Amino acid sequence: MTDTAPAKLSCRNVWKVFGRRPSYYFDSRGYVIDPDALAERLRAEAHLPAVVDASFEVAAGEIFVIMGLSGSGKSTLVRCLSRLVDPSAGEILLDGRDLLKATGKELIELRRHAMGMVFQNFGLLPHLDVLGNVAFPLKIQGMPAREREERAREMIELVGLKGREDSYPHQLSGGQQQRVGIARSLAVGPELWFLDEPFSALDPLIRRQMQDEFLRLQKMLKKTIVFITHDIGEAFRLADRLAIMRAGKIVQIGRPADIVLNPADAYVAEFTEDVPLLNVIRAGDLATAGEETMPLVAPVRRDASLGELVPRLAAGEKIFPVEGNASAPPSILRSSDILAALKRDSARRIRS
């Protein structure tokens, strides 16, 4: 979580166990023995621990990516977070409120007003046009027709589909259908946005375009987002922070740069070995306060990748001023730090 933003969503020691009697293994405190030992016991006794003792916090306005291979538990975890399935143990807090204690009626209201969800399956209603699909959740809320149509048109324009309001789902490409799904999800103005493999059914080029669109929307809207993916390139491109899962357990949480530079174990190192540091490490990851006189050159964005700076580095620049933001003052990036990262990347690739 960032140092300045408060926690919007807190996940504390969450388990999801499938089997004949999962509640037998948990008491009012959650669990009574070491998590790894309990997971092994569950497996030995014909239970499936799909989520094992998951704990993390998501800051307001953060893109928190949960990634892992198929069967790692990431989709089950996001369904626990949204209460689409009930966890076996743990706590899930939204703005400090325990969602596991919410009644069915309260959950319905939360999903109508506070949560947005987008899944791999677009889930569009085939008998409704684009405008009708986007306005549908607002109709469920009871919003008057004129207001919901106006809101729906705003969302359609926001995702770049203005002019397609009268089109039906079968008349749209896969990328356009997913844009409709995103517009529909955003129409309710969610505080917390869950996206479970939203682009994985798309062709690679369209997928890249949708990632660009997603980042553009986030810069405008600053939503709190939990994003699920199995694609490591997508995860490292989109995440402010990410969690890597294996066999139901979170094995590492951190910024993309932290994870590739300091993998928690051999599994994470192998998982990330093909990720180029030039694309992952940002100027803000290496920038520090310094006494040097700032050169009269264009400042660098904190989120600029090292790859973007290579031409300036090749031209002989030694010091790069780095822009500040709400959580960090202006700083500098030295060419020696960039070269050290490049050297480390080369050594890592030789080892792999």
Given this model, what pLDDT does residue 236 score? 92
Given this model, what pLDDT does residue 121 score? 79
Region 55-84: mean pLDDT is 94
Tokens found for residue 70: 């198929």
| pLDDT at residue 53 is higher than 70 | yes
Q: Give the model confidence (pLDDT) of 181-217 as tens digits.
A: 999 999 989 989 999 999 888 888 888 998 999 999 9
Instruction: Categorize the per-residue pLDDT at 315 as very low, low, confident or very high, splitting at 50, 70 and 90.
Output: confident
Given this model, what pLDDT does residue 239 score? 94
From CA 116, how far away is CA 141, in angstroms rounded? 14
User: Token match 């100027």: residue?
Assistant: 283
pLDDT > 90: percent of the chain = 52
Region 132-146: mean pLDDT is 93
Domains observed in the chain = 279-351 (3.90.1280)
| pLDDT at residue 32 is higher than 60 | no
| pLDDT at residue 64 is higher than 90 | yes
Region 109-137: mean pLDDT is 90
**89 φ/ψ angles, rounded to the nearest 5 degrees:** -165, 160
Which residues pair with residue 249 across a beta bridge? 52, 246
Is the model more confident about 124 or about 288? 124
pLDDT-wise least confident of 93-97, 127-131, 236-240, 336-340: 336-340
From CA 136, how far away is CA 66, in angstroms rounded? 29
Instruction: Categorize the per-residue pLDDT at 8 as very low, low, confident or very high, splitting at 50, 70 and 90.
Output: very high
Helix (H, G, I), strand (E, B) or coil at 82: coil
pLDDT > 70: percent of the chain = 92
| pLDDT at residue 289 is higher than 80 | no
Amino acid at residue number 32: V
Q: Chain-wide mean pLDDT for the chain?
A: 88
342-346's contacts with Cβ under 8 Å and 24+ in sequence apart are 342/277, 342/278, 342/306, 344/261, 344/277, 345/276, 345/277, 345/278
| pLDDT at residue 290 is higher than 70 | no
Q: For helices 145-158 and 174-187, what crossing angle results, to 10°?
A: 130
Given this model, what pLDDT does residue 347 score? 66
| pLDDT at residue 27 is higher than 90 | no
Given this model, what pLDDT does residue 186 score? 92
Q: Give the model confidence (pLDDT) of 228-286 as tens digits.
A: 999 998 999 999 999 999 999 999 999 998 898 889 999 998 888 888 788 888 888 88
Identify the CA nearest to 65 among candidates 205, 197, 212, 257: 197
Given this model, what pLDDT does residue 293 score? 61
Q: Are strands 224-229 and 192-196 parallel, antiparallel or unpaired?
A: parallel
**CB within 8 A of 159, min separation 6: which ones?**
179, 180, 182, 183, 186, 213, 217
- Under DSSP, the state recorded for 124 is -
Region 37-51: mean pLDDT is 93
Q: Give the model confidence (pLDDT) of 163-179 as tens digits.
A: 999 999 999 998 899 99
